[in-house]
Structure 1
Amino acid sequence: MKSGDLRLRRAEKSDANEIFALAREFGITFRPEREAFDAALPRLLEDEDAFLTVATVDGVIRGYLLGFVHLTLFANGPVAYVEEAIIEHGFRRHGIGRRLLEEFEAWARSRGAGYVSIATRRAAEFFHALGYEVSGTYYRKLLK
């Protein structure tokens, strides 16, 4: 992949099929269902506290990042959280994830976020290389 082929842009409704295919690759605990995806995508695109950006290579979506900024009490203002970040398997280690995360960080900073966090058991080396540090243990409880 040549570096000039990579472009980032805000996701659009017409990207639904390509984003859905990547979301299905991302899903481990949940298997994304098209009906729920189609209901959520327009709402996310309209939400000014949501960041949904795609990375294209030669015009084809090869990755996306979905994150949010939300207000907190403990951090004296807003913080940012990466909810989903996925790069198509054959396009990893080409700088796409780095570019998406840097774009998200800039967006979060412009919205006054004090920090960015992400919960993951994967890609520890990647996040450490970008200045992220382990901050806590992640707990969850499935409600369905």
Structure 2
Amino acid sequence: MTSGDLRIRKAEKSDADEIFALAREFALSFRPERAAFDAALPQLLQNEDAQLLVATVDGTVRGYLLGFTHLTLFANGRVAWVEEAIIERNFRRHGIGRRLLEEFESWARSRDAGYMALATRRAAGFFSALGFDVSATYYRKMLTPPARP
């Protein structure tokens, strides 16, 4: 565990600068733009099907997780999807990601989600240790041009 005071909580509008900095570190195919971020954040905070969590260490945001629940036909109801999850590089391997996922899982269960899933090419061992199984191949089709370095 980190040597500081770790807390997991719902994100607030006042967390915007710290979340944006992490989102820029997270994105590989897209380059987050502040105007688009500022337009999306209030909508996500008000969306009852979205959960935006932050992990703070000594009051500073060091990680976040954005996930959703939505209805399906095949799973007899809701499922949960982790869209984004990142921990600041110097704070990885201290249990922060685990705590964010546990909190999201608790929220997803409270919404009667049948399962939770995510797509990633990183940290396979981490997700396996948390009980995730490889389930499918992820395909995507870019509908907007990718970010330029």
TM over 0.5: yes
Establish whether residue 57 from structure 1 lines up as the match of residue 86 from structure 2. Answer: no
What does residue 147 of structure 2 align with? Answer: none
Letter paired with 2:108: A
What does residue 22 of structure 1 align with? Answer: 22
The alignment covers a number of residue pairs equal to: 143
What does residue 67 of structure 1 align with? Answer: 67
**1:58, CA displacement in angstroms?**
0.4
Residue 19 of structure 2: SS of its match in structure 1? helix
Task: Percent identity, please.
Answer: 77
Letter paired with 1:64: Y
CA distance in 2, matches of 1:59, 1:105: 23
CA distance in 1, matches of 2:112, 2:11: 22
Residue 103 of structure 2: SS of its match in structure 1? helix
What does residue 130 of structure 2 align with? Answer: 130
What does residue 6 of structure 1 align with? Answer: 6
Task: Show the 5 A alignment for 1:39-54.
Answer: 39-54=39-54
TM-score by length of 2: 0.95
Residue 126 of structure 2: SS of its match in structure 1? helix
What does residue 86 of structure 2 align with? Answer: 86
**1:60, CA displacement in angstroms?**
0.3
In the TM superposition, structure 1's runs of 4+ consecutive aligned residues that sit over 3 Å from their partners are none
CA distance in 2, matches of 1:8, 1:132: 21
Task: Show the 5 A alignment for 1:108-127.
Answer: 108-127=108-127
CA distance in 1, matches of 2:80, 2:48: 13
**1:79, CA displacement in angstroms?**
0.1
Which consecutive unaligned segments of at least 5 residues does structure 2 have?
145-149
Which consecutive unaligned segments of at least 5 residues does structure 1 have?
none
Letter paired with 2:142: L
Query: Which of the pair has the greater relative contact order for Cα pairs under 8 Å at 6+ separation?
Result: 2
Residue 117 of structure 2: SS of its match in structure 1? strand
**1:17, CA displacement in angstroms?**
0.2
